[in-house]
Amino acid sequence: MAGDIQLTCSDCGQDFTFTAADQAFFQERGYSTPKRCKPCRMAKKNDQGGGGGGYRSAPAQGTPVICSGCGQPTTVPFEPRGDRPVFCRDCYQSRKGSSAGAGGGRSRGRY
């Protein structure tokens, strides 16, 4: 295994150590050599809202649409394809509830 490497951060200009353990971690995952020190990487990640969607992450952006059921404006957490109707939460729930049992107890295997 290679030893520690001294690198210069592209953001703050400070030298930082890219440890042998970090090198192995990056190599296992196919990551390239970092250009930023850890504090600058974390700051950039926070600025971009990155972080993997944890509990405190920003809410997902919705796509504004008109509900096919009631005609009211709403947002959905996906980009509609246009070939299927899109419903607001209330219309979706009422349709979902009314179709319960329509499959004869069979799972469609989608999930």
In a domain, 17, yes or no: yes
Q: What is the pLDDT of residues 72-88, one digit of tens each?
A: 999 888 888 889 999 99
Residue 108 corresponds to which amino acid? R
18 and 43 in one domain? Answer: yes
Q: Is the pTM of this model over 0.95?
A: no
What's the DSSP call for residue 59? P
**What pLDDT is stored for residue 70 in this prediction?**
95
* Mean pLDDT score across all residues of the chain: 81
State how many domains the chain has.
2
Give, as one character, the DSSP assignment of residue 78.
Answer: S
Q: Which of the four pLDDT bands, split at 50, 70 and 90, describes residue 52?
A: low
Where does the pLDDT of residue 110 fall: very low under 50, low under 70, confident under 90, or very high at 90 and above?
low
- One domain, residues 38 and 67: no
Backbone CA torsion sign across 74, 77, 80, 84: negative
The one-letter amino acid at 79: E
Evaluate whether 4 touches 24 at the Cβ level (below 8 Å).
Answer: no
Domain membership of residue 68 (yes or no) is: yes
Q: Are the CB atoms for 89 and 67 separated by under 8 Å?
A: no
Q: For the chain, what is the largest distance between any 2 Cα atoms, rounded to a whole number of angstroms?
A: 65
User: Considering the chain, what percentage of its residues have pLDDT values greater than 70?
Assistant: 76
Whether 40 is in a domain gets the answer yes
Decide if 106 is inside a domain: no
Could you give the CA distance from residue 3 to residue 68 in angstroms, rounded to a whole number? 61
Domain holding 12, by residue range, is 5-47
pLDDT recorded at residue 8: 95
Residue 103 lies in a domain: no
